[in-house]
Amino acid sequence: MGNGIATGSTDIAALGARAMAMLDTLGAISDAPDNLTRLYLSPAHRRAAHQVRDWMEAAGCEAHIDAAGNVVGRYGPAEGPVLYCGSHIDTVIDAGRFDGSLGVVAAILAVEALAGEGRVLPFAIEILAFGDEENVRFPTSLSSTQAIAGGYDPRWLDVVDGDGVSLAQALREFGGDPDAVTGLARDPAQALGYLELHIEQGPVLERADLPVGVVTAIAAAWRADCVLRGQAGHAGTVPMGLRRDALSGAAEMIAAIEGIGAQHEGGVATVGRIAAVPGAVNVIPGEVRFSIDARAPGDAMLATMLAEIDAACKSIAERRGLAFTQAPFMRAPATPMAEPLQQAFAAAAHAIAGDAPLIPSGAGHDAVAMARLCPVGMLFVRCAGGISHNPAESITQADAGCAVAVLIEAIRRIAADQAAARG
Ligand code: HGY
Ligand code: MN
Ligand code: MN
């Protein structure tokens, strides 16, 4: 598999080399001097968006950057049925080069290959490079994807980042248009489906020694910002029994949250961000702010976990005389992948890679938002050690080529099915 043998008119080795070169280019576009950090609407996001737009045009698309900061490349008629394909180009802090970007690069290479075949498709293909999938800068939930999918929440325009910059202001500075984002919603009647290729961010494919897998569903997810208030005091004079130490209380809550995640099969719970004030070595912390990210394979299990987390935190706060508030800012339902798109990816993967296991996704993806618009399907690509959200994130050139070839073949099969259905 993957030794340069062309599949259809697809040269897997060449696709892999092209993909890795493009990912190296994107991986060098960062807001940070010494790591890859590219947050929504940042200067690096704008540079990366311009690069992606240029690639889309070179591949044969009409391309532009829309009011929400998405890069859109359309191949085929401006009207009529459309197949969407893409992922995100924003990253977490100190990120890997492949999370998100691989799906955008793969979509561009797929359109280039299909255009090169002179293939007349029974639909247009619209490549989408979303900008706010990681939701690191603003407390939103796939906002620029929801603009396309028709689920944009106008209240997002008023949320602010850590520097107090509102999303609306950041959009204007980026060259977007906050007044136009809700008008980006696509017509569900013309939306045939959405395909996303993404690194697995888990160990299944590496353990199975297989390059690609077909995603079955995406986990339900919830996120909140929490504030715990006690009383700041002198670290040397306040007896232990009289303290209302917000950081010790948070520590107990964090251990409880971790335990609840572990108790539920397939459930996960993470406190990824914490800050204690005033943050002096000899002052009992009076206030702590921390985040919670909880996920589960199904909505019912997530609801149970959230109830347990809420009860545990309130009980700890009451016993310690602390004031606890929780501000949820993201809730994503468990999202099943559409059967026909799973089958298209599976048939393409078996033709090219020999086998492709079915894998549930614990990570969230743009497909969660796009599922509001149309049927969605995802293909996972093996990544070393399952590592992601980490600069050690990596894939092989051979797997990259194989995955792009599978995406191209899946689109060919969807086109054949569409043509047959029309008779
Ligand atoms: O957090 C996630 O699951 C995704 O990487 N944004
Ligand atoms: Mn990610
Ligand atoms: Mn991602």
Q: How far is the CA of 349 from the centre of ligand 1 (A)?
A: 25
Tokens describing residue 175: 């060259």
pLDDT of residue 118: 82
Residues near 165 by beta carbon (within 8 Å), at least 6 away in sequence: none
Q: How far is the CA of 227 from the centre of ligand 3 (A)?
A: 28
pLDDT of residue 7: 39
3-state secondary structure of 276: strand
* Residue 193 near residue 98, CB atoms below 8 Å: no
Q: How far is the CA of 218 from the centre of ligand 3 (A)?
A: 12
3-state secondary structure of 91: coil
* Residue 158 near residue 166, CB atoms below 8 Å: yes
Q: How far is the CA of 45 from the centre of ligand 1 (A)?
A: 18
Before 278, cis peptide (omega within 30)? yes
Distances (CA, A) of 142 to 84, 107, 220, 269, 298: 16, 19, 14, 20, 20
Q: Rounded distance, CA 258 to CA 166, Å? A: 32
Q: Give the position, in ligand 1's atom list, of the atom nearest the Cα of 388.
A: 5
Say how far residue 71 (Cα) sits from the centre of its chain: 16
Distances (CA, A) of 253 to 44, 305, 337, 406: 37, 14, 35, 45
Q: Which residue's C-alpha comes closest to atom 6 of ligand 1?
A: 134
3-state secondary structure of 274: strand
Q: Rounded distance, CA 412 to CA 200, Å? A: 23
3-state secondary structure of 281: coil
Q: Rounded distance, CA 103 to CA 29, Å? A: 17
Residues with CB under 6 A from ligand 1: 133-134, 363-364
In the CATH hierarchy, which fold is given to the domain comprising 12-219+334-421? Aminopeptidase (3.40.630)
Q: Give the position, in ligand 1's atom list, of the atom nearest the Cα of 295.
A: 3
Q: Rounded distance, CA 377 to CA 339, Å? A: 8
Given the candidates 2.60.40.10, 3.30.70.890, 3.30.70.360, 3.40.1390.20, the CATH classification of the domain at 221-331 is: 3.30.70.360
Delimit the domains of the chain by residue range: 12-219+334-421, 221-331
Q: Give the position, in ligand 1's atom list, of the atom nearest the Cα of 363.
A: 3
Q: Which amino acid is at 303?
A: A
Give the ligand at the shortest distance from the Cα of 36: 2
Q: Tell which phi-psi region holds residue 354, choosing left (phi > 0), alpha (psi between -120 and 50) or beta.
A: left
pLDDT of residue 387: 96
H or E, element range at 73:
strand 71-75
Q: Give the position, in ligand 1's atom list, of the atom nearest the Cα of 362.
A: 3
User: The tokens 């792009």 sit on which residue?
Assistant: 404
Q: How far is the CA of 418 from the centre of ligand 2 (A)?
A: 32
Q: What is the pLDDT along the chain (423 residues), one digit of tens a residue?
A: 333 333 345 789 999 999 999 999 999 999 999 999 999 999 999 999 999 999 999 999 999 999 999 999 999 999 999 999 999 999 999 999 999 999 999 999 999 999 998 878 999 999 999 999 999 999 999 999 999 999 999 999 999 999 999 999 999 999 999 999 999 999 999 999 999 999 999 999 999 999 999 999 999 999 999 999 999 999 999 999 999 999 999 999 999 999 999 999 999 999 999 999 999 999 999 999 999 999 999 999 999 999 999 999 999 999 999 999 999 999 999 999 999 999 999 999 999 999 999 999 999 999 999 999 999 999 999 999 999 999 999 999 999 999 999 999 999 999 999 888 887
Q: Do domains 12-219+334-421 and 221-331 have the same CATH topology?
A: no
DSSP codes of every residue in 192-245:
EEEEEEEE--SSHHHHHT-SEEEEEEE-EEEEEEEEEE---EETTTS-GGG---
In sequence order, what are the beta bridge partners of 417?
A: none
pLDDT of residue 420: 87
